[in-house]
């Protein structure tokens, strides 16, 4: 008896992903994003999640000030197989600087997570570390804490995958200073719904 063939996992490139959208197979508003060549379903946008995204964007806008652009739930380019839509992303410049191409080197990425916490801590954390994102935050709505991931590191004897060497968990009563805005002190409570 012949063993059944199992189809291989297909990894999409950013170009192929763009063609799926161009040909109407995916709509740019579909709740999917490209990460490591995989089309992943985004976390649902329930009211607490959406409120946290808006609060975080507002707090970061105040903290970073002029010369920075805060985008929400919009694509960035990490590499040829990753074009995620982080909940909040801080990049240099203004929106017009990204009229031709998505940002490629954000100073800070924030993912708001509840049901998507394993994805935010796992595949997304590894992809952001591999892309050299020095400051990655997870706003954990379930535990009402901010998980600050810094110092991206390659896989090695102590770790199987890309990740961060420094992970700090801050409660609602704490403040955090973004690496790219050392004069800012952002209250974790200001980020939580």
Is it the case that residue 29 has pLDDT exceeding 70?
yes
Tell which CATH classification among 3.30.565.10, 3.90.1570.10, 3.90.1150.10, 3.40.50.300 matches the domain 43-190: 3.90.1570.10
* Confidence (pLDDT) at 192: 98
Provide the percentage of residues in the chain whose pLDDT is more than 70: 96
pLDDT at res. 13: 81
Integer Cα distance of 167 and 150 in angstroms: 6
CA 19 to CA 70: how far, in whole Å? Answer: 27
Question: Is residue 127 predicted with pLDDT exceeding 80?
Answer: yes
Dist CA 192 CA 187 (whole Å): 9
pLDDT tens digits, residue range 80-101? Answer: 898 999 999 999 999 898 888 8
Of the pLDDT bands very low, low, confident and very high (cuts 50, 70, 90), residue 2 is: low
pTM of the full structure: 0.88
- Distance (Å, whole) CA 81 – CA 51: 30
């Amino acid at each position: 008896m012949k063993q059944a063939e199992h189809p291989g996992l297909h990894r999409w490139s950013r170009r192929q992903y763009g063609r799926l959208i161009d040909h109407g197979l995916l709509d740019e508003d579909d709740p999917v994003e490209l990460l490591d060549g995989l089309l992943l379903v985004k976390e649902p946008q329930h009211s607490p999640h959406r409120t946290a995204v808006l609060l975080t964007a507002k707090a970061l806008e105040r903290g970073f000030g002029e010369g920075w652009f805060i985008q929400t739930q919009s694509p960035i380019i990490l590499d040829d197989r990753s074009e995620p839509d982080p909940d909040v992303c801080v990049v240099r410049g203004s929106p017009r600087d990204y009229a031709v191409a998505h940002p490629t080197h954000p100073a800070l990425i924030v993912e708001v997570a509840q049901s998507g916490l394993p994805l935010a801590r796992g595949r997304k954390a590894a992809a952001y570390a591999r892309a050299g994102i020095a400051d990655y935050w997870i706003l954990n709505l379930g535990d009402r804490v901010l998980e600050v991931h810094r110092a991206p590191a390659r896989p090695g004897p102590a770790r199987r995958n890309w990740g961060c060497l420094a992970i700090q968990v801050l409660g609602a009563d704490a403040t955090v200073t973004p690496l790219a805005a050392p004069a800012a002190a952002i209250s974790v409570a200001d980020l939580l719904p």
